[in-house]
Amino acid sequence: MKSHISNALSDFFFEYETPRQVLVRNRRVGVVCRIIQLGVLAYIIGWVFIYEKGYQSADTAVSSVFTKMKGVGYTSINGSERVWDVADYVFPSQGDASFVVMTNYIITEGQEMGTCPELHGKHNCSTNADCEGGSFKRTGHGQMTGVCVENKTCEVLAWCPVEDDHKIPDPPMLMSAENYTLFIKNSVTFPLFGVSRSNLVEDIDAAYISKCLHHPDDAPLCPIFKLGDIVKLSGFDFETIARVGGAIGIVVDWTCNFDVDVTHCKPQYNFHGLYGNAAETDKAKASVGYNFRYAKHYMDNKVQKRTLLKVFGIRFDIIVQSLARKFDIIPTLTAIGSGVGIFGVATVVCDLVLLYLLPKRAFYKNMKFKYTDTHVQHDSELLGLEKSDYCNLEANARQVQGTGQSNDPDSEAGSTETEK
């Protein structure tokens, strides 16, 4: 028992096993093998390393965005002149990454709580029975009192007079918004690499900002944008989108390679029209544009009143995209190891061709696999020989026999076959 255990341990620690190799000289199989290997090599170099950057580790940024609008608008309605500044036309006013710039509006002044006729088309009536007191209509302005007034509409308890938004001003009231400017300040940090960057890069200083205006070719790094240029670069027509509103996405793209100096990590700005496309007519959509309402409340002779504005505007969403890469030995070795493993596909395919498709598949199978019979151990015991000595005698006998039967496909003689 001890000898078996010691022999097993000795074999485990002091012996080495290697696969049997068979050299096959066959042009078709050789060409198939090399084509597959070249394809795998092209995949590793072209896709894994060049396109997917498999030799680098990647990280996304933690980002912060600050915005500031500048510009003044002017309107004159029925002889009433008004100047609109940033506090009037930007919502919200805190400089968020998502905000709205008012370009058109419908104003209803001097509203106070009371009873008044509903707007025509909201709830028409012919008798008081058509106006159910205490009920509401989803599209109405208030609670019905149960009275049908002379203009054949139901009376409501609401902020009176009710808003009439059937006619949207055209041209837009604040076409001057085309000349407003937007300043974007963006800071990003890549935690994995410990790198922080700002869109105010090395070449941008206070003097440059005071006079620059973003242009894709002439001033691609300038962080000050003209609203008319943003709308144009997003593929929209300013007058069309200003009339009913819309949405535009501003993408700040940080795609950086930290294998070179970090000063080469600079942002790129892209503009995308989200909705409000000039090619989309009002008839093509159930709801067109972007609008909302807000009210300014005040007291007049101890009576609470308000000024209601239905605002049509352009919503800007600033989206930061980031991806930084840097060389890392771990993903490099992983990519190389997986590529070497894929090379085994060539061996599997060629073995299938040799063993199952070629006319001489029986000959190749005999060369590739070595078969052992149970009678070997029995015969060696009868002759009083060690198993290894018996196998050597049997191999020598086959070799001598093979000199006269070289065409026997089951013989190990002539193990190299050449295609004619």
Instruction: Indicate if 288 and 354 belong to the same structural domain.
Output: no
* Residue 102 CA to its chain's centroid (Å): 30
Which among 122, 112, 115 is positioned nearest to 146, based on CA atoms?
115
Instruction: Indicate if 251 and 339 belong to the same structural domain.
Output: no
Instruction: Indicate if 321 and 176 belong to the same structural domain.
Output: yes
pLDDT at 410: 39
Instruction: Indicate if 42 and 70 belong to the same structural domain.
Output: no
Instruction: Indicate if 282 and 346 belong to the same structural domain.
Output: no
Kind plus residue range of the DSSP H or E element containing 334: helix 329-342
Instruction: Indicate if 180 and 75 belong to the same structural domain.
Output: yes
Residue 49: CATH number of its domain: 1.10.287.940
pLDDT at 393: 57
> Hey, what amino acid is at 146?
G
Cα three-residue angle 33-38-43, rounded to 5 degrees: 130
Instruction: Indicate if 274 and 333 belong to the same structural domain.
Output: no
Confirm or deny that 69 is annotated as ligand binding: yes
Domain boundary among 342, 362, 382: 362
The residue segments making up the domain with residue 85 are: 62-118+162-327
Q: What is the sign, positive or negative, of the torsion defined by CA atoms of 117, 122, 123, 125?
A: positive
Q: Is 413 helix (H, G, I), strand (E, B) or coil?
A: coil
Confirm or deny that 270 is annotated as ligand binding: no
Residue 398 forms part of a structural domain: no
pTM of the model: 0.73
Residue 285 forms part of a structural domain: yes
| Cβ(236)–Cβ(280) below 8 Å | no
Confirm or deny that 293 is annotated as ligand binding: yes
Residue 106: CATH number of its domain: 2.60.490.10
In DSSP terms, which residues pair with 253 in a beta bridge?
268, 321
Is 90 exposed, middle or buried (CB count within 10 Å of its CB: 0-12, 13-18, 19+)? buried
Residue 266 forms part of a structural domain: yes
Residue 373 forms part of a structural domain: no
Structure-token match 């000039």, residue found: 278
CB-based contacts of 60: which residues, under 8 Å, 6+ apart?
190, 322, 323, 324
Instruction: Indicate if 254 and 175 belong to the same structural domain.
Output: yes
- Count of domains observed in the chain: 2
Q: Is 36 helix (H, G, I), strand (E, B) or coil?
A: helix
Residue 370 forms part of a structural domain: no
Structure-token match 């242009």, residue found: 215
Cα separation, 183 vs 226, whole angstroms? 9
User: Long-range contacts: 133-142, Cβ < 8 Å, 24+?
Assistant: 142/118
CB-based contacts of 406: which residues, under 8 Å, 6+ apart?
413, 414
pLDDT at 311: 95
CA end-to-end distance (rounded Å), the chain: 56
Cα separation, 307 vs 164, whole angstroms? 13
Residue 295 forms part of a structural domain: yes
Residue 151 forms part of a structural domain: no
Q: What token pair was written down for 140?
A: 């109405």
**Backbone region of residue 93 per phi and psi (left: phi > 0; alpha: psi in -120 to 50; beta: other values):** alpha
| Cβ(130)–Cβ(140) below 8 Å | no
Instruction: Indicate if 203 and 292 belong to the same structural domain.
Output: yes
Instruction: Indicate if 210 and 278 belong to the same structural domain.
Output: yes
pLDDT tens, the chain, 420 aa long: 677 788 778 777 877 776 767 777 888 888 888 898 899 899 889 988 888 888 999 999 999 999 999 999 999 888 888 999 999 999 988 778 899 999 999 999 999 999 999 988 788 888 998 888 888 888 888 999 999 998 789 999 999 999 998 899 989 999 999 999 999 999 999 999 999 999 999 888 888 998 999 999 999 999 999 999 999 999 898 998 999 999 999 999 999 999 999 999 999 999 998 876 655 544 446 677 899 999 999 999 999 999 999 999 999 999 999 999 999 999 899 988 888 888 888 888 888 887 888 887 787 777 777 666 555 455 555 555 555 555 555 556 555 544 444 444 434 434 444 444
Cα separation, 331 vs 329, whole angstroms? 6
Confirm or deny that 181 is annotated as ligand binding: yes
Cα separation, 393 vs 399, whole angstroms? 10
Confirm or deny that 68 is annotated as ligand binding: yes
Instruction: Indicate if 175 and 288 belong to the same structural domain.
Output: yes
Cα separation, 52 vs 54, whole angstroms? 5
Cα separation values, 378 from 8, 374, 386, Å: 22, 7, 11
Alpha-carbon radius of gyration of the chain: 41
Instruction: Indicate if 348 and 248 belong to the same structural domain.
Output: no
Residue 207 forms part of a structural domain: yes
pLDDT at 158: 94
